[in-house]
Amino acid sequence: MSLKHLLVIILNILLLTLLLINTNGTLANQNTSISSHDVKITTTMNYLGNFANALLREHGSVESIISGSIDPHFFEPSASDLINLQEADVILAIGHEQIDQWLTDFIQDNPNLAPKVFNVINLETILEYDPIIEAENPHFWLSPINALIMVENIKNHFEDLDLLESEILDTNFALYESELQSLLTEIEQASQLYNGTKVVVDHPAFFYFLDLLGFERMGAIEEHEGVDPSPLHIQELTNLMKKENINLIIASKTQAGSDVDQLASNTGAKIAFLTPLPGIEGAEIYTKMIRYNLNSLKNPSEPAKQDDLNIQSFFIGITLVTLIFVRKLSTKYVDR
């Protein structure tokens, strides 16, 4: 073999070696990308999605099923929601029998997905008795104290699953913990203004939040979940508010009905519209939601004027009469 041929062989071996090294390096980088960027988290409630995003940041994707415009008590998942659950690596839930019942039903039909589900908090140690509803109140997430517990539990679970390096999770947790502590400081400062203030609420959703602020809830417009209050109940609340000199009603931004305006008009009370879930304008994420609620308490709305309520009731009545007339008319022609 000539020297020239030998040099050619050596050069080819060197080139092949360099190519293999480069290929291995590329594969190693691809493997790192798969472990850190292709993690898919699905959460039942969107505030859990906020918590997961705060921990993963750019190192994973997070989908949330229930947003701020949806009442979780009556939620029914769509086909796309169920596909999200099936495709998730981890499913974050709260495990409450009312709010997460739809998930429990789905897991019963798909038991192979049960290992993916992680309930982010121990409800037995968190839920508090609410005298307004004479039962444990499930809206515990509206306290940043409980939010902090959930975020730490999620971080520990991600570490157990080795989804991301512990150093990154610890750093991201520390940053979010600082944000939540800032919220608690703001709440503590606001409590000096509100402590002992008597209010009426439309729904018991804000129990934990209002308790931190020192409000004293004297009654609720909603007598039972999803049931409109009776005229007698509204009159009783009117009498109570006048007797106790209550001048503030706290209502849900997305769920308040005309009864809130009616009670405010009866008593001259202002209305603070809060949101129990992030996802509406100005309260897109959990931390913004808490500040949105604090700001709403500082700037309550004036009650609607009685004339406006009468006009509103008039048009609602006209609409109902028209719908009934059209339905009867269409039935008449169908029968012919």
Same domain, 149 and 51: yes
Give the whole-angstrom CA distance, residue 151 versus residue 121. Answer: 9
Q: How many domains does the chain have?
A: 2
| C-alpha Rg value of the chain to the nearest Å | 28
For position 223, what pLDDT does the model report? Answer: 78
The predicted pLDDT at position 30 comes to 35
Residue 155 pLDDT exceeds 80: yes
> Is residue 200 in a domain?
yes
Residue 322: inside a domain: no
Q: Please give the model's pTM, rounded to 2 decimal places.
A: 0.79
Q: Is residue 127 part of a domain?
A: yes
pLDDT, mean of residues 274-285 = 95
Q: Could you tell me if residue 2 is inside a domain?
A: no
In this predicted model, which residue has the larger pLDDT, 309 or 240?
Answer: 240
Alpha-carbon separation of residue 61 from 28, 57, 82, 118 (angstroms):
21, 8, 17, 17
| pLDDT-based confidence at residue 70 (cuts at 50, 70, 90) | confident
Q: Kindly state whether residues 140 and 256 are assigned to the same domain.
A: no
- Contact, 93 vs 120, CB < 8 A? yes
Is the residue at 11 inside a domain? Answer: no
- Rounded to 5°, the CA angle 192-132-151 comes to 65
Range of the domain at 136: 37-183
Are residue 55 and residue 150 in the same domain, yes or no?
A: yes
27 pLDDT exceeds 70? no
* CATH (domain of 255): 3.40.50.1980
Q: Are residues 230 and 131 in the same domain?
A: no
Domain presence at residue 317: no
Residues 205 and 260 in one domain: yes
pLDDT at 26 over 60: no
Q: Are residues 154 and 202 in the same domain?
A: no
| CA neighbor of 216 nearest in space, from 140, 155, 131 | 131
